[in-house]
């Protein structure tokens, strides 16, 4: 029984330590899928498709997953574009706010080739892939 509790504790602790925070030095490019103000809580994308707003950003994550292969068509920014969100910031688990939609969402391409979904809510950065908020 002692070993079982010890192993469960190790598994739990290994899950807590697996998140690597985003750093400006690790960002290669930023691809923007939507930027602007949502109309009636609907996001109108560049190809006139509509993504409906929901509390947990499920529709946005689905759209980001669907548009993954269209990265060359999206507006591209350099690594300094989101740098202010990572300087001296802490991160914590994202708790959805029901009444505030995102002003921008898209992709972050890292130097290691990883593609991370992100969203901006006013002046708050949300890592939609790992559900972390930087404040």
pLDDT reported for residue 15 = 58
Phi, psi of 82 (to 5 degrees): -110, 15
Domain annotation covers residue 73? yes
Contact by Cβ (8 Å): 24, 79: yes
Domain annotation covers residue 89? yes
pLDDT reported for residue 13 = 67
Contact by Cβ (8 Å): 24, 86: yes
Residue-range definition of the domain harbouring residue 75: 20-134
Domain annotation covers residue 101? yes
Domain annotation covers residue 39? yes
The better pLDDT of the pair 16, 12 is held by 12
Decide the pairing of beta strands 104-110 and 132-134: unpaired
pLDDT reported for residue 19 = 67
**Residue range 79-92, pLDDT digits in tens:** 889 888 877 677 77
**Residue range 38-72, pLDDT digits in tens:** 888 889 998 889 998 888 889 999 999 999 999 98
The pTM for the full model equals 0.80
Closest CA to 125 of 79, 61, 82: 82
Domain annotation covers residue 104? yes
pLDDT reported for residue 29 = 94
Domain annotation covers residue 46? yes
Domain annotation covers residue 86? yes
Domain annotation covers residue 25? yes
Structural domains in the chain (count): 1
């Amino acid at each position: 029984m002692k070993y079982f509790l010890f192993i469960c504790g190790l598994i739990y602790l290994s899950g807590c330590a697996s998140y690597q925070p985003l750093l400006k030095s690790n960002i290669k490019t930023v691809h923007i899928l939507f930027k602007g103000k949502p109309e009636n809580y609907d996001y109108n994308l560049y190809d006139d498709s509509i993504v409906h707003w929901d509390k947990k950003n499920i529709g946005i994550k689905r759209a980001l997953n669907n548009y993954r292969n269209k990265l060359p068509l999206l507006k591209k920014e350099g690594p300094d574009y989101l740098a202010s969100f990572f300087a001296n910031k802490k991160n914590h688990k994202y708790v959805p706010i029901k009444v505030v939609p995102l002003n921008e969402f898209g992709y972050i391409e890292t130097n290691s080739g990883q593609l991370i979904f992100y969203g901006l809510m006013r002046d708050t950065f949300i890592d939609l892939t790992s559900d972390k908020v930087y404040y």
